[in-house]
Amino acid sequence: MSAKKFPWIFSLLWLLILMVMLWAGFWQLGRAEQKRQFKANSEAGESIKPKTLDDWQKLKPFETVEFTGRYHDLHFALDNQINDGQVGQYLFTISETTEGIWLLINRGWFTGAINLESLPDFQTIKGKVAAWPEPGYKMGDQAIRDTHLQAVTYLEFEPVTALIKARLCERSAGKDCIIPELTVKLDAEMPYGFKREWPLPRMTAAKHQAYAIQWFTMSLVLCVVYIIFLRKTKVFNKPNEN
């Protein structure tokens, strides 16, 4: 075989594409396992009762939690949330557990004016664990104001927690300001909420698996095409000896 005739550039390009396709296949398998876990968490019958920060940080999305806490008069109305084709807002309210953990509670979807009724001091709160809302495309900076209710386009962790610490934690003498980076979606049967429909992600585990099979099949086809290409270009043929 002559080294000069070997298609190095084509082979490197083929290898790069193959690696990307294999990575996509394994990524889809990972997402499929994650969706299966989400479904299992959502269907679990028993509620978890976290106490410490470590307990909260070990929680997974869609796990059901139950704790005793109280709402504080600090609310965020997250704009541009779609429900049944209508644009509305999610109301997030700050809650403090009896163990001194501060949480962001999603009390549900609403549209139009909102009546913030007074809430009892301490009560049982139940809901599903969710990730902290991640902002999509940001149209400039957003100021978080020191007011009891404000409409926001996105909820960034650092500005929100800074406001919680400045406005609420300093009033809780002798308690550390512990704020895990997660939210709780209020259970539909709990009082003091709005419209609450918490569906599982639309993309199912089976669909992720189907996509993974497609990527691995295309990877196999790519390998076959590469072998055929090498055979046709005769790069492995021995040079003629004269």
Better-predicted residue by pLDDT, 82 or 139: 82
Q: What percent of the chain has pLDDT over 70?
A: 88
Helix (H) or strand (E) holding 91: strand 86-97
| pLDDT at position 205 | 77
Provide mean pLDDT across the span 50-70: 91
pLDDT at residue number 2: 47
Report yes or no: 149 and 75 within 8 Å, Cβ to Cβ. yes
Q: How far apart are CA 157 and CA 165, in angstroms?
A: 12
Instruction: Output the six-digit token pair for 103.
Output: 């949480």
Considering 36-45, 103-112, 130-139, 141-150, the range whose residues carry the highest mean pLDDT is 103-112
85, 185, 193 from 80: Cα distances, Å: 11, 18, 19
The per-residue pLDDT for range 150-188, each reduced to its tens digit, is: 999 988 899 999 999 888 886 655 457 889 999 999 999
Model pTM? 0.72
Residue scoring higher pLDDT (92 or 137): 92
Amino acid in position 187 = D
The residue ranking higher by pLDDT, 105 or 63, is 105
Mean pLDDT of the chain: 85
End-to-end Cα separation, the chain, in angstroms: 16
Work out the percent of the chain whose per-residue pLDDT is above 90. Answer: 43
Counted residue by residue, the chain has a size of 242
Beta-bridge partners for 92: 76, 106
3-state secondary structure of 160: helix
